[in-house]
Amino acid sequence: MKFENTREFARSLDSEDHLAAYKEEFIFPKVNGKDVIYFTGNSLGLQPRSAKKYVDEIMTDWANLAVEGHFYSDKPWWDYHERFSAKLAKVVGALPEEVTVMNTLTVNLHLLMVSFYRPDKKRYKIICEEKAFPSDQYMIASQVKFHGLNPKDAIVEIKKREGEQNFRTEDILDTIKEVGAECALVLIGGVNYYTGQVMDMEMITKAGHEVGAKVGWDLAHAAGNIHLDLHKWDVDFAAWCSYKYMNSGPGNASGCFINKKYHNLKDIPRFEGWWGHNKERRFLMEPEFQPEPNAHAWQISNAPILALAPYLASLEMFEKVGMEALIIKRDKIVAYLEFILHEIDREVEGNFEIITPADQKERGTQLSVFLHGEGKELFNYLMENGVITDWREPNVIRLAPAPFYCSFEDMYEFGQILKKGIETT
């Protein structure tokens, strides 16, 4: 399609957009009395209008039923988390029994590493990407030290080539092959938080297994954003937060994937608690742990129902729309945003550099843009004029037009604000 940098053309794209009506299903902050253009769904998604209703249901049941709400509310609390498995399985490409929701992201990665990082004298190394999201760096280093190992010896970081912004798949595969029999675990972000690069998860998982390693993925920037097929790819484990593209609210619960082949293994190491115990016998208070026959066996404590409620509200929309439709719009709106950026760059004779891969197969919703010659004053101008975006040092803005609630006219309007900002700051 040949794009045009006009409001009329942007509106014509919106008129053809089957998801356009969903913008009304979200609540937008306002700046100067107008709804913002929201580009930070990769950090915190907007609030669905239905979220309050789902939370209010819990509050009403708590008021009217108190403890009996565990069993007699419309959505009983004792199995509330089970409502997520089938819906989330469609989002991440899993079997329903391979998915559960509990805790928060880094907590879950720690818990999953109890099961899947079992170093010995020969096989003890973890492969990750350089400059991974800091929480992953801290988590991996602390796990290594917990096992009495030196992070400098046990952690192998995949590096970008000199002068390049993104990782090359062949370099990742070569590193896995080189570490070989010493590799205990490959643990990488499925979508790089800084550049928005999508990793070839299927190929990397296969390479890790070929050297005898376990392979896990941090899907914080992937779940609800890109196509995932975790079961088919034979991923061992994965975890993701729910508050970015999945719009569940700040700091909310994390989803987990545990491959079916690890269910019902009597000797698998795992931190265990009451809510992972056999559901049918849970309230018998038996002294010996009997695990659930699925991913729920990794549950420890009873679910935070008030936190899960807005996540369930958002998932209802994901189930209704489906990832395929979201990805179709995602590709089109990101391509239009890319076009707008190049047009504004040409008009102001600027020096933008989009560091996210140009190949749509290697990117999702996010475009990361180096604003060469521009400082944080431009970012501040955008924010003051109703464009909510994200600044990363030294001079990168991350733009993530979430397909549920961003419009093509938003992309055009952003371009006009950006142009004026460059001319005036």
Mind listing the pLDDT tens digit for each residue in 208-239?
Answer: 999 999 999 999 999 999 999 999 999 999 99
pTM for the complete prediction?
0.95
**Can you tell me whether residue 379 is helix, strand or coil?**
helix
Of the candidate ranges 43-52, 157-166, 372-381, the one whose mean pLDDT is the lowest: 372-381
- Residue-wise pLDDT for 124-150, tens only, equals 999 999 988 889 999 999 999 999 999
Per-residue pLDDT at 6 exceeds 80: yes
pLDDT of residue 371: 84
Q: Which helix (H) or strand (E) holds 325?
A: helix 323-347
Please give the Cα distance from 250 to 379 (Å, whole number): 23
Domains, the chain, with CATH or none = 7-35+323-424 (3.90.1150.10), 53-321 (3.40.640.10)
Dump strand ranges (E) for 59-114: 99-102
- Residue-wise pLDDT for 268-280, tens only, equals 999 999 999 999 9
Please give the Cα distance from 367 to 354 (Å, whole number): 7
Please give the Cα distance from 212 to 206 (Å, whole number): 10
Distance of CA 15 to the CA centre of its chain: 29
Please give the Cα distance from 71 to 32 (Å, whole number): 47
pLDDT of residue 324: 97
Strands 30-31 and 34-35: antiparallel
Residues 6+ apart with CB under 8 A from 253: 101, 102, 103, 104, 242, 303, 304, 307, 308, 311
Helices and strands in the chain: count of H runs, count of E runs: 13, 17
Please give the Cα distance from 333 to 365 (Å, whole number): 8
Q: Running DSSP on this structure, what letter comes out for residue 200?
A: -
- Residue-wise pLDDT for 10-59, tens only, equals 999 999 999 999 999 999 999 999 999 999 999 999 999 999 999 999 99
**Confidence band of 379 (pLDDT split at 50, 70, 90):** very high
CA dihedral 48, 49, 50, 51 (to 10 degrees): 60
* The pair of three-digit structure tokens given for residue 147, joined into one six-digit string: 């096992």
Please give the Cα distance from 102 to 258 (Å, whole number): 13
Please give the Cα distance from 276 to 257 (Å, whole number): 15
C-alpha separations of 203 from 170, 173, 188, 227 in Å: 10, 8, 13, 15
Please give the Cα distance from 136 to 131 (Å, whole number): 9
Beta carbons of 312 and 54 less than 8 angstroms apart:
yes
